[in-house]
Amino acid sequence: METWLQRIFLVLCLAPVWAGAQQVTPDIERTIINEDVLDSENWLLGVRAGVLSIEDFGSSALGALQLSYQINEDFYLSAEYAFAKAGRTSFEELSGAAPLLTDEQRKWQYYGAHVGYMLLPGEVFLTRDFALNSGLALFAGGGNVDFAGDKVFALHLGSQFRLYATDWLAVELTFSDYIFETTILARSKTTHNLSLSLGLALYF
């Protein structure tokens, strides 16, 4: 009788220990890698040359430098510096009068920033079996135009077509409009200065 009772108690006492022994949790720490260990290439440096039509002053050669930071796959931020030299107005050509501006005042400079949106990413097929990645981006921004001895705020709107020759090198075709007010010809007016330029950009 007594041993029978002792056995019951023994079983009751050991049951929780036995049940506990069944639940073995693996004590392994999983190591976590931060994605920052990978080299990031979010900056893009571009150089381009083209033509700028300065309203009333004809078309002239344009050079530009652009530094961009890719925020995500859709948006980017750019700082830009562009320069050109204005030609002569039709009035100066025809009247034979003294030039309106000095040589120094004919220098056109722009510096500013813009936000771009990659509207149409995709591929361009150069031959039947060979495709390159491409993208058409729209951008809007503003900055300063230094022209004719005056500094004015300019709106800068445009689009940029980018063709990726390799993963880090792109060919860019940029079409943009620099909109600003001028007071050179007596009355203040808003001018549209269109530019078209071709350049190279690299990721780093």
Partner 1 sequence: MRSFVFALLVLIGSSLQAKPLLAEPLQVTVQTDFVNLHSGPGRGYPIVQVAIKQERLTLVSRRQDWVQVEFKQQRYWLARTDLMALQSEDGARFSVSDDKLDAYRQRQFEAGVAFGDFNGSSYYQLSVSYLFSEFVQAELALGQANGQQADNLSAELSIYLSPMPHWRLSPYFGIGGGVLRTTPRTVLVQTPDRNNTLASSELGLRYYISRNFIARAGYRRSVIVTDRNDNEEIDTWKLGFSVFF
Q: Provide the H-helix boundaries in 84-174.
A: 90-95
| Minimal distance, residue 54 CB to partner 1, in Å | 19
| Contact indicator for 133, 168 with CB cutoff of 8 Å | no
Nearer to partner 1, 59 or 142 (CB): 142
Nearer to partner 1, 23 or 40 (CB): 40
| Minimal distance, residue 33 CB to partner 1, in Å | 5
Nearer to partner 1, 23 or 31 (CB): 31
Specify the length of the chain in residues: 204
Question: Of 120, 113, 201, nearest to 153 (Cα)?
Answer: 113
Nearer to partner 1, 4 or 125 (CB): 125
DSSP letter (8 states) at residue 164: E
Name the residues that contact partner 1, by CB under 8 A: 30-43, 67, 69-74, 77, 79, 81, 109, 111, 113, 118, 120-123, 131, 133, 135, 142, 144, 146, 150-153, 164, 167, 183, 203
The set of residues, in sequence order, having a beta carbon less than 8 Å from that of 174 and lying 6+ positions away, is: 48, 50, 64, 158, 159, 160, 161, 195, 196, 197, 198, 199
| Minimal distance, residue 161 CB to partner 1, in Å | 14
Nearer to partner 1, 146 or 177 (CB): 146
| Minimal distance, residue 60 CB to partner 1, in Å | 20
CA 66 to CA 177: how far, in whole Å? Answer: 16
185 CB-side CA count, 13 A:
12
| Minimal distance, residue 183 CB to partner 1, in Å | 6
